[in-house]
Structure 1
Amino acid sequence: MSVHDDIASVQRSLDELNRSLGRLEHQLGSNGLEMRRVRMDADRLRESLGLLRDSADNDTTPRRPDLVTISDTPYDRSLWIDTDDEGLGARDRHAP
């Protein structure tokens, strides 16, 4: 399945959830805290799916990070002539 097919499938499931919540709300009433929370959660899922759909519409190809080639040749040793050896101190000084 493509991403758009999966999103459409989730949308159908959310539509069915909303229909079921409507029936449940008709039986239990919409004044209870629990019913309001479930309704808000379902609405939040619908909004999140809309954002996901917009994101998928804007970006149809998966992105891979750019690969960096690291050469196997040794580095030029002159790059490190003025550096300290880590943990040993400078060349002209003694460790404590």
Structure 2
Amino acid sequence: MSIQDDLTAIQRRLDDLMRSLGTLENHVGHGLDMRRVRTDAEHLRDSLSLLRETAREERGGRPDAEMVTIPDAPYDPSLWKDAEDEGLGYQGRHAP
């Protein structure tokens, strides 16, 4: 199953849970415990919505990684002629 299929299945189950909570609430009333359960279920719905948005951004936000081959041959030394060696200073200079 894909991530979207999993998220859709979870959404259906949460919808079923919310309907069941409505039925249960008719039987037990609107007490503190029932409000806590309903609030927790709403938090699950909010979290699932955020997760769905994150999955959508990750899927559509970046292309698949492309493999880059790095040759084994040494680099041309002229590429580094005017570059500093990090932490060592310019070539020919000495640390104090």
- TM-score band by shorter chain is 0.5 to 0.7
Distance 2:2 2:89 in 1: 59
Partner in structure 2 of residue 74 of structure 1: 74
* Unpaired runs of at least 5, structure 1: none
Give the alignment's TM-score, normalised by structure 2.
Answer: 0.57
Distance 1:3 1:38 in 2: 27
Partner in structure 1 of residue 23 of structure 2: 23
Aligned residues, how many? Answer: 91
Give the alignment's TM-score, normalised by structure 1.
Answer: 0.57
Please list every run of at least 4 consecutive aligned residues from structure 1 whose deviation after the TM superposition is greater than 6 angstroms: none
| Superposition deviation, residue 42 in structure 1 | 2.5
| Superposition deviation, residue 3 in structure 1 | 4.3
User: In 2 relative to 1, CA 48–86 (structure 1 residues): closer, same or farther, beyond 3 Å?
Assistant: closer
| Superposition deviation, residue 22 in structure 1 | 1.4
Structural RMSD (CA): 3.6
Percentage of matched positions with identical amino acids:
53
